[in-house]
Structure 1
Amino acid sequence: MLKQKLELLNKEFTTLKTKITTKLQAQQQTITETNAKLTESNRKLETTLKENSENEKVLEQLLKEFK
């Protein structure tokens, strides 16, 4: 009787451990994917800022030429 209860508890513990591990892995995957998206977004923003800065310089130069 006690042995059966221990076996049942062990099985339940293993099941819970597996569920928790699976959930943690899924959350880690989500975090990894989100970080990748943020990195790509930041890269695009940096590129856009650089392009805007270059465009601003060109516009300033054109304004000087037209004055």
Structure 2
Amino acid sequence: MNNQEKAYLFIKDQINTGHFKPGHLLSENQTRIKLNMSRTPIREAIKQLENEGLLVRQGQKKSLAILH
């Protein structure tokens, strides 16, 4: 499993288990630090979750609001 897949599964699991609730602002940088990964796999995971309708970008700081 590559880092993008790990990041995707981590974020999706946090959403599905209710740890990240609707309206929660997800910081790309904080997620990167927590998972000890570079920005690229985090961004790719986020794009995938945006395409699935689970996240939406908010504002200039690249925070992400949980929709589901």
What is the TM-score when the length of structure 1 is the normalising length?
A: 0.25
Judging by fraction of residues, say which structure has more helix: 1
Higher relative contact order (CA 8 A, sep 6+): 2
Judging by fraction of residues, say which structure has more strand: 2
Determine which structure has more spread, i.e. the larger CA radius of gyration: 1
What is the TM-score when the length of structure 2 is the normalising length?
A: 0.25
